[in-house]
Amino acid sequence: MDIRPEDPTELPTAHRVALLSQNEKVFHVILAQQFDREFIDHLVRIAEMVRTIADAKPGAMFLKSLLGHKRAMLYFIQPSTRTFMSFASASQILGMPYDEVRDRSTSSEHKGETEDDTVRVLSQYCDLIIMRHPVEGFAERMAHMLNAMRRPVPVINGGSGKDQHPTQALLDIYTLYRCFGGPLAERVAPHAEKNHFAGKTIAFVGDLKRGRTVRSLTYLLCRYPGVRLLFVSPPELAIGEDILEYVRRHGIAYSIERDLRAVIRECDAVYMTRLQDEWDTAGESKNIDYARYHLTADMTDQFKPDLAILHPLPRRHELDVRLDADPRAKYWDQVRNGMWIRAALIAYLFNVDGAVLDHYQSYYSY
């Protein structure tokens, strides 16, 4: 991506167009597959800059000045604390007021309104809708519907169905950049050609069948030649064949594993997931020996010194609380990284990422 240093506020629109859209004015964030290497590199840089700028009051106030004239709607029709709060915090960081619909019982739907009409109405009040919904493909369908309105607004998919969770994938890969990417100065430098993931082994562990975060992150990792993926799960919870086909098509090395202890020594990063038994149809999870997919404190002597331990949270027993104090535990950082990368994404959607870049280069560059 060509970020012209002579005018950083004028970012190329090529990548904005790359986001799913049916007209030229509005860009939606729906699928992890939308993001190419160049885009991810750019967004990670912006996120690193936002968090650095936000650290002192004058910088924080600059960030808050960016989107005070916009307003967002958080339409979260599925229980979620962390994703909701992450987007809410990102909006606050950029000074963008927002409102929320989280409970259909307070809405007009009890009067017989369709959900389509509800979203059409909400779109009148705002400049961006961030949505989370139990139905697969919901965000994408809403994006198409809104494109047909006289005043379309962009949609960010905050998770729909068992399917996709693209901003979780962004925060996960951002966390990996921070683990593998060297010091800050290197992370904020333009280096589209540099691939920090080459030679790294990343294990996905647990319920890979039903964890949408694993699917989304795998799509992104396929943009990094030389990375090696381990899918460590019981056979009943194996990663979907469609994902493996995608991995193969992109020439990424992978292997299927059954025992975490057998491979933990090789891992540069381990991405733990909980048993998602809320998707069970007949209690089938009860027969699975999930203990083989636990990461426990007694395994630390097998960890590489720079192992990165990730977890999308919430966790249960698969991730030992005694590991929390280990500096290799990155899952709390992941939470906070999500806030920064979402702020970067929103800045990008409203075309103020250039202003962030400009501010950073003026005040923080050597």
330 is catalytic: no
Cα 162 → chain centroid: 15
Applying CB under 8 A, among 303, 336, 355, 358 the residue interacting with its own copies is: 336
148 binds its own copies (CB under 8 A): yes
Q: Decide whether 129 or 263 has the Cβ nearer to its own copies.
A: 129
- Residue 165 known to be catalytic: yes
How many Å apart are CA 12 and CA 56, to the nearest integer?
30
- Closest residue by Cα to residue 129 from 137, 141, 119, 114: 119
Residue 149 or 189: which CB sits closer to its own copies? 149
Question: Per CB under 8 A, which of residues 229..258 are in contact with its own copies?
Answer: none
Q: Does 79 bind its own copies (CB under 8 A)?
A: yes
Nearest residue (CB) to its own copies, 125 versus 189: 125
CB of 90 closer than 8 Å to CB of 67: no
Q: From CA 56, how far away is CA 69, in angstroms rounded?
A: 23
Q: Which of 133, 165, 212, 228 is catalytic?
A: 165
Residue 72 or residue 227: which is nearer to its own copies going by CB?
72
- Let me know: does 131 contact 105? Beta carbons within 8 Å: no
At its nearest, how many Å lie between its own copies and the CB of residue 339? 6
Catalytic residue among 132, 178, 223, 342: 132
Closer to its own copies by Cβ: residue 106 or 281: 106
Cα separation values, 344 from 179, 247, 294, 351, Å:
19, 27, 33, 10
Which range of residues in 79-87, 198-206, 240-248, 256-264 is near its own copies by CB under 8 A? 79-87
304 is annotated as an active-site residue: no
Q: Which of 17, 121, 189, 198 binds its own copies (CB under 8 A)?
A: 121
111 catalytic residue (yes or no): yes
Binding mask 275-304 for its own copies (x = CB under 8 A): ---x--------------------------
Q: Is residue 30 part of the contact set for its own copies (CB under 8 A)?
A: no
Are 131 and 156 within 8 A, CB to CB?
yes
Per the CB < 8 A criterion, the answer to whether 86 and 344 are in contact is: no
Cα of first residue to Cα of last residue in the chain, in angstroms, is 23
Residue-wise burial string across 44-68, b where 16 or more C-beta atoms lie within 10 A, e elsewhere: bbbbbbbbbbbeeeebeebbeebbe
DSSP letters for 337-362 = HHHHHHHHHHHHHTT-HHHHHHHHHH
| Helices 37-53 & 353-363 angle (0-180, nearest 10) | 50
Single-letter code of the amino acid located at 60: A
From residue 178 to residue 217, the character string flagging contacts with its own copies as x (rule: CB under 8 A) and all else as - is ----------------------------------------
Residues with catalytic roles: 82-83, 111, 132, 165
Task: Give me the residues that bind its own copies (CB under 8 A), please.
Answer: 54, 56-57, 60-61, 64, 68-69, 71, 73, 76, 79-82, 84-86, 88-89, 92, 97, 99, 101-103, 105-113, 117-118, 120-122, 124-126, 148-151, 274, 278, 313-316, 325, 332, 335-336, 339
